[in-house]
Amino acid sequence: MARDDKATRSRTGRSPIRTCLATVVRSVEVTPRMLRLTLGGDELRTFDGGRQADERVKLFFPAQGERIPVLPEFGPEGLVYPDDATPPHARNYTVRRFDPAGPELDIDFVIHGDGRAVEWARDARPGDVLGIAGPAAGSLPPADADLLLIAGDETALPAVASILERLAPGTCAHVFIEVADRFEEQPLAAAPDTDVRIQWLHRDTAVDADDDQLADAVCEFPWPDGTVHAWVAGEALTVRTIRRYLCNERGLNKHTLHAAGYWRRGKTVEEWLNDPQDTDA
């Protein structure tokens, strides 16, 4: 058995996680740049998800010209593939919705340009097959803060939506979401008895194309009295800027801040995670 690369292992964790194959049931355009694939199939009956906020899965895509991806097993050292197998393209995605009755699993794909995952999703038709490992629970800061500050780009939207739907009563949250333009906004429903303010940021209205609107918005946010916890996800360099600000200027720490780079501008996930100069994101 051959071990997979650092990228795949480091983002999945080492606990035993189930893998299964799923088939595309339908594909729906949520916004011009967000595609929802609904997955089904008998093997999804073993999928143990849909109960928590911010659950993530690793998706395994079939190689070019193949119909079914090679699936790994989980060993103590991470994912393991049969010796003669080429590890498939694998990427992390968020569980947007899971209905065990179907079973049906919704994954929202940002249609971002090139990338094997996004190309596969764009071309996917009912009956196409992909592999799934998970779910793994994401990290949320403890709920006992006066304010939950959430910041993310469109890749974080599925997670943000699931977090808002499951907020504890009495939670106050301020949410910054950066998307390409106003057509990428989505309705976000918050749990009852919560106080949630959502601020959309549009890249197409930035004064300077190089502006980091999301980081600027967080850094300029009038800091409230009381305790603030934060959840941040999106482009890795933006997340790094925000994380440094929240830790260095506002005193948040690993217990009160969850910050995760979801993708890295100009690099594939492998190029990003295998670059020792680029690990602090």
Ligand X SMILES: Cc1cc2nc3c(=O)[nH]c(=O)nc-3n(C[C@H](O)[C@H](O)[C@H](O)COP(=O)(O)OP(=O)(O)OC[C@H]3O[C@@H](n4cnc5c(N)ncnc54)[C@H](O)[C@@H]3O)c2cc1C
The two structure tokens encoding residue 32: 């011009």
The CA-CA-CA angle for residues 175, 30, 176, to 5°, reads 10
Amino acid of residue 100 = P
- Span near ligand X by CB under 6 A; candidates 22-30, 110-118, 125-133, 273-281: 110-118
Measured CA to CA, the distance from residue 60 to residue 132 in angstroms comes to 6
Number of Cβ within a 10 Å radius of residue 183: 11
The binding track of 58-97 with respect to ligand X, each residue x by CB under 6 A or -, is: ---------------------------------xxxx---
- Considering only residues 114, 210, 225, 280, which one is a binding residue for ligand X as defined by CB under 6 A? 114
Q: How far is CA 40 from CA 25, 213, 220, in A?
A: 6, 38, 44
Determine if 264 is a binding residue for ligand X (CB under 6 A). yes
What is the smallest separation between the CB atom of 227 and ligand X, expressed in angstroms? Answer: 26
What is the smallest separation between the CB atom of 8 and ligand X, expressed in angstroms? Answer: 11
Secondary structure (H, E, C), 238-279? HHHHHHHHHHHCCCCCCCCEEEEEEEECCECHHHHHCCHHHC
Determine if 266 is a binding residue for ligand X (CB under 6 A). yes
Sequence-distant (6+) residues with CB within 8 A of 15 are 74, 136
- Considering only residues 85, 118, 180, 237, which one is a binding residue for ligand X as defined by CB under 6 A? 118
- Span near ligand X by CB under 6 A; candidates 74-82, 200-208, 246-254, 267-275: 267-275
Nearer CB in complex with ligand X: 55/147: 55
Beginning with the edge strand found earlier in the chain, give each strand of the sheet holding 78-81 in spatial order.
Answer: 2-3, 78-81, 73-75
Residues 139-168 that bind ligand X (CB under 6 A): 155, 158
Residue 61 has φ and ψ, to the nearest 5°, of -100, 140
Determine if 123 is a binding residue for ligand X (CB under 6 A). no
- Considering only residues 56, 174, 243, 258, which one is a binding residue for ligand X as defined by CB under 6 A? 56
Residue carrying the six token digits 């911010």? 54
Nearer CB in complex with ligand X: 63/172: 63
What is the smallest separation between the CB atom of 222 and ligand X, expressed in angstroms? Answer: 29
Nearer CB in complex with ligand X: 90/252: 90
Q: Which residues make up the interface to ligand X (CB under 6 A)?
A: 11, 56, 91-94, 108-110, 112-118, 155, 158, 262-269
